[in-house]
Amino acid sequence: MVQRIDVTAADGVRLAAWEFREAAAEPEAAGSAAAASGSAAGSGAGSGAGSAAGSGGPQRPGVLLLHGLMGRAFHWAGTARWLSEHRRVVALDQRGHGQSDRPPPGPGILSSLGREAFVADAEAAVEQLGLAPVTLIGHSMGALTAWQLAARRPDLVEALVICDMRASALGEASQQEWEEWFHRWPLPFPTQDAARRWFGEDDPRVERPDPGRGAFFAEVMHQAADGWRPLFSRRQMLTARETWVHDAHWEELAQVRCPTLVVRGLDGELGRAEAQEMVRVLPAGRYAEIPDAGHYLHYDQPAAWRAAVEPFLNGIRATRT
């Protein structure tokens, strides 16, 4: 079962949060969750959070899942299925992504898509939905958001999983490459399968067929009047990336005090040497890598991803009880 609960950001942007429930464990909640989905979306975070918090039993440990740039909450559906067996699991459509609002264009757009805004959104989700002390699991840009929140609000965060995100600066050349790449997208795609094939096989950035990558991007396409287009604004994605791509983030990483697992795909964007240095910098860092996986490792190798992450989370859960 999946229930939508709206979260209101500090600047008024409406954020769609999605709570994943293990249906077999809560058979009576299924109908009420489906019925509450529409009302929670319209009534704000207060009433939605109350209904989602549980039915009087012991509160499950909270998990907040943060997707990467261009992603969406439902990219975490496979992970949320096994997490929800023992935890309260919420995935957030970050601002400008999925079914959350896009910040309005204008002179304030840089701050509306900046690091402070994304971190504040995650903080609002944790507080408004009553998830603390929360485990944050972030992929790529979502991992950066997660460790920045853990550094700034250690009182809210119990544990952290960083999935294939670098702490070093990527630089202006990287930003220009992304802008050129966006211009090469053959939009609109005639079908969702055409989008899957292009991103998984035909994109010049793909060295060999990558089904996980194709599936990742197919899920962020929606059917428009003229074909299939992304749910997000590519211009806004570049703006959001502009606010962190030039900076290194080692200092904030070193301020993360909670147990942290750094996971990389063997063929991902985070190199082994940098990942191991991140573990060294973290006061309570641990390391895992997944063979035969690229940047979208939870799509490429879901079983291996679970095998790497679940023992770490179970260890946190054991110390909590």
- Report pLDDT digits (tens) over 97-147: 999 999 988 888 989 999 999 999 999 999 999 999 999 999 999 999 999
Residue 320: per-residue pLDDT: 67
pLDDT surpasses 90 at 23:
no
Q: Is residue 187 within 8 Å of residue 229, measured between CB atoms? A: yes
Residue 321: per-residue pLDDT: 62
pLDDT surpasses 90 at 45:
no
**pLDDT 10s digits, 269-292:** 999 999 999 999 999 999 999 999
DSSP SS3 for 134:
strand
**pLDDT 10s digits, 205-232:** 999 999 999 999 999 999 999 999 999 9
Secondary-structure breakdown of the chain: helix, strand, coil percentages, each rounded to the nearest 5:
45, 20, 35
Cross-strand pairs, 135: 63, 159
pTM of the model: 0.89
Q: What is the DSSP string of 134-189?
A: EEEEEETHHHHHHHHHHHH-TTTEEEEEEES--SS---HHHHHHHHHHHHH--PSB
Nearest to 60 by CA among 27, 25, 92: 25
CB-CB neighbours of 133 under 10 Å: 16
Q: What percent of the chain has pLDDT over 70?
A: 88
**pLDDT 10s digits, 58-106:** 689 999 999 999 999 999 999 999 999 999 999 999 999 999 999 988 8
The 3-state secondary structure of 282-301, one letter per residue: CCCEEEEEECCCCCCHHHHC
What's the half-sphere exposure (Cβ side, CA atoms, 13 Å) at 62? 23
CA torsion sign for 170, 175, 177, 178 is: positive
Rounded CA-CA distance 80/63 in Å is: 9
pLDDT surpasses 50 at 29:
no
Q: Is residue 312 within 8 Å of residue 161, measured between CB atoms? A: yes
CB-CB neighbours of 215 under 10 Å: 16
Rounded CA-CA distance 145/138 in Å is: 8
Residue with tokens 């700034």: 152
Rounded CA-CA distance 28/54 in Å is: 12
Residue 319: per-residue pLDDT: 74
Residue 105: per-residue pLDDT: 85
